[in-house]
Chain A
Amino acid sequence: MVYNYFPGCTLKEKAKDLDIWGRRCAEALGVPLTEIPEWQCCGGVYPLSKDEIAIRLSSVRALIYARDNGGTLVTLCSACHNVLKQTNFDIADDENFSLKVNNYIAADGQEYHGETKVLHYLELLRDVVGYDNVKAAVKKPLTGQKIGAYYGCLLLRPGKKMAMDNPENPRIMEDLLAAIGATPVVYAQRNECCGGYLTLEDSTLPEKRVKRILENAKAQGADTLITACPLCFYNLKKYADGTGVEVRYLTDVLAEALGVKEEG
């Protein structure tokens, strides 16, 4: 089975840790990821205007490649996952959108109707590897570590399209944390927005939001927060100093538990 992998731009630059440990862990768990060739930026956020087609074409090309090479596409970045999955859903669901996209890609002699299965890395672990097998592969259980999962707004929403977990009361990351021996901390703000790109325009808003998230997590006893989103990571980390809460990538924590890090 081939697991085509779409890393996304940020994972090649600012979020190298998210990418490297993600690949290494997947290898250790027997599901090595194959980076697809010549991938392009996913577009960053999903365009909500119905007539913006061109922005979504890079996603469609990645999806076509994956369809023709095993049928599965794995992503790790919350934003890339969101864009790819929404594009894939809409092309199967929205006739008008599908028609316009297919008119564009017909020039390349292509046709696409949403055949590829898009998986988030977490889904790969839960549904393909299985958390029981993850648990069995743990070499250094994170016993005693109180870790809060930070989902952010994008990973699970819109719930109908992401179809991954209950967006209001999720457990996919908590179950993983339990599997690698940590104590998952459930706190209410875990699926609230961090402020996202507003950090560029008016950083006071993300500051307010992130502080609220960190306070809530801290109050519930978390000493670490994990995330799968480079932007959330950036915003959280910026204001985490002095709060006593460490912010880490999900794959970083996983790599520690699987003993991948010691191998160098």
Chain B
Amino acid sequence: MQKIGVFVCHCGTNIAATVDVEAVAEAARHVPGVVYATDYTYMCSQSGQDLIKDAVKKYGLTGVVVCSCSPRMHEKTFRKAVNSVGMNPYLLEIANIREQCSWVHKDKEIGTQKAIALMKAAVAKAELDSPLTAGETPVVKRALVIGGGIAGMQTALDIADAGYDVDIVEKNPTIGGKMAQLDKTFPTLDCSSCIVTPKMVDVGQNEKIHIYSYSEVTDVKGFVGNFKVTIKRKARYVDETKCTGCGLCTEKCPMKKAPNEFNLGLNNRTAIYIPFAQAVPKVATIDPNYCLMLNKGVCGLCSKVCGAGAINYKDTDKEIEVEYGAIVAATGYEIMDVSKYDEYAYSQSPDVVTSLEYERLMNAAGPTGGELLRPSDHKRPKTIVFVQCVGSRECDSTRGGKPYCSKICCMYTAKHAMLTKDHYPDTDIYVFYIDVRTPGKNFDEFYRRAVEQYGVHYIKGAVGKVTPENGKLIVQASDLLMNEQLTINADMVVLAAAIEPSHSARHLATLLTASMDTNDWFTEAHPKLRPVESPTAGVFLSGVCQGPKDIPETVAQAGAAASKVIGLLSKDKLAGNPCVAHSDEMMCTGCSQCADVCPYGAITYVDKEFRMRDRTTKVRRVAQVNPAVCQGCGACTVTCPSGAMDLNGFSNSEIMAEVDALCR
């Protein structure tokens, strides 16, 4: 006979306000199998846990049901508590009477009835629970960081610092990311390159870090502690081990019409190129779309001038497979395409630019050598209009608009305005905003300096139309505070375009089985308590790939992700999840349906000999689950037509008992 204890939590008033907790405990006392039931204000507190532990000892409980919040919140807490007094942790059941009960009901009567039903279901399951023991798997002591921007670099450096090997996979020829393209950083106005390039050098020189630049992750297999990752090394046509980065090839290359990605296409580069002077690794890359040798079979100049003999026109993509214990996504962001926002005439006039393009126009290493000249006629703009929230905080998604705030635009626009005023005090600057959002250390002071000290005209209102006319940009706008229509004859218009997740992130999330929100930002395991972990064990999140962030926040999150990785890699063995599927070989018909639905590739088929009643043997094909790979999702158990597949801890009979209890 089972002896089950039921513990009903008030959660302050979270539960107790809409559920009569005493009535739930009283009802529990009348359920067959329950030998003890009580309620308490905070069951998760130390004294609440002690209450459970004492009852387990006093009544010799064989199962415990806690009626409280979601098991995602405190299942671990209570499992640990019962385990500390010698009970198998898998004999504990949670009835969630908060998220799916007290929080969604207003009527106490109904809430109480539902809580009682949920409690009964949990008791029914607890009666059938059997003790489970987790297996152990070894941990590969190497981490993979996907993305080599400031987030990925910081994560890699911190992991390497703890003594573990780290690989960075970066899709571009160099690490550095967006930060390498920035001129100055807010709110201190220190030079971005001066901060980021030494970091790039640190990463490049660190013995524990290996950079796979110009590479992509194409496949991920395995599970936490034991990932097997396929990395595609794209054909660079230059041998990385031989190239010295002297740059002679880039000087001699006759094909000079390839758009320069580093300057966002504002100028051109050669077909063989090093993205910028401080690139890491400082190795040339041939752009196969523009190289004359690769396309027309004539030229070969770079090969002739290369003293190191590094050029190889016959290079091909190569795939390598590497094992990792942990994976960090640090894929960052892109600037949204604003060409559908035609009212701003972005695609009609070269003098309408995005803020990142403006950044390059102000940068000493940019296409104009740091002198602010507008793209159309290379004249210095005297009047500049900045438009905030282009594509951000936008309900209309048909133009690619985003419902979220991109978070960094208010601050970088104030920065652009101030820097422009610093260099050219006679420039007239207008900033059109919906709201100015500047929470952050020294942020509001920074913005107010732009208004009060530099005399930047901040206007609350929207720009309705930009009309290119006779070399000017006529900006029609409304000033909402003055209730006036404005027309400004501007020389340049700068659009604070929304930021969006890297376009490769969605595919990567599929490979990692990591979840994403509707905007394609990676989802964290818990928005408050586990902000740098993905819900998939062993996959961590660093930087903007999880949501818009500025540089200090990105660096902080990168460090946090690294510390989680270090915590994982420092373990020699990982306790597995015992709630995995297993197949009853006598019932399995070998139909393959379970293997087809398994998202983790945990199911294989083997031919097995079975002894028949007449003492002959017969070979049958049956399913076998690799418990180390199985994540216990249960897809196979519901698919199996013969009922051979079952899940430990969530067996078919346990679930039926729950349903029975609910329906009674």
Contacts and interface: CB of A to CB of B under 8 A. Distances in A.
Verify that A and B bind, or say they do not.
yes
Interface of A: 159-160, 166, 168-169, 188-189, 192, 216, 219
B497 to A, nearest CB: 16
Given A216-B469, A219-B469, A169 B348 contact: yes
Contacts of A160: 396, 398
A188 B398 contact: no
Interface string B468-485: 111000100000000000
A162 B396 CA distance: 15
B470 A169 contact: no
Most buried by A among B347, B396, B398, B469: B469
A188 B345 contact: yes
Most buried by B among A160, A188, A219: A188
Chain A to chain B: the 7 pairs with minimum beta-carbon distance, closest first: A168-B342, A188-B467, A169-B342, A168-B343, A160-B398, A166-B342, A219-B469
A115 B529 CA distance: 50
Nearest to B487: A212
Interface of B: 340-343, 345, 347-348, 396, 398, 465-470, 474
A188 B341 contact: no
A65 B606 CA distance: 67
B407 to A, nearest CB: 26
Nearest to A189: B467
A166 B400 CA distance: 13
A219 B465 contact: no
A189 B474 CA distance: 11
A216 B342 CA distance: 17
A226 to B, nearest CB: 20
Most buried by A among B341, B466, B467: B467
Given A166-B342, A168-B343, A219-B470, A188 B396 contact: no
A192 B485 CA distance: 14
Nearest to A215: B469
Contact of B398 (A159, A192, A216, A219): A159
Contacts of A192: 465
B402 to A, nearest CB: 17
A152 B487 CA distance: 19
A219 B470 CA distance: 8
Given A160-B396, A160-B398, A169-B348, A216 B343 contact: no
Given A169-B348, A188-B469, 14 more contacts: A159-B398, A160-B396, A166-B340, A166-B342, A168-B341, A168-B342, A168-B343, A169-B342, A188-B345, A188-B468, A188-B474, A189-B467, A216-B467, A216-B469
A169 B467 contact: no
Nearest to A188: B467
A222 to B, nearest CB: 13
Contacts of B345: 188
14 contacts: A159-B398, A160-B398, A166-B340, A166-B342, A168-B341, A168-B342, A168-B343, A169-B348, A188-B345, A188-B465, A188-B468, A188-B474, A189-B467, A219-B470
A188 B468 CA distance: 7
A216 B468 CA distance: 10
Contacts of B398: 159-160
Contacts of A188: 345, 348, 465-469, 474
A166 B341 CA distance: 10
B484 to A, nearest CB: 14
A214 to B, nearest CB: 13
B44 to A, nearest CB: 44
A169 B347 contact: yes
Nearest to B340: A166
Contacts of A159: 398
Contacts of B340: 166
Nearest to A170: B342
B331 to A, nearest CB: 31
A11 to B, nearest CB: 30
Contacts of A166: 340, 342
A192 B398 CA distance: 21
A13 B367 CA distance: 60
Contacts of B341: 168
A236 to B, nearest CB: 18
Contacts of B467: 188-189, 216
A188 B286 CA distance: 41
A188 B398 CA distance: 22
Contacts of B343: 168
A188 B348 CA distance: 10
Nearest to A186: B348
Contacts of A168: 341-343
Contacts of A169: 342, 347-348
A189 B396 CA distance: 23
Nearest to A169: B342
Contacts of B348: 169, 188
A207 B466 CA distance: 21
B286 to A, nearest CB: 37
A62 B467 CA distance: 39
Nearest to A158: B396
A106 to B, nearest CB: 34
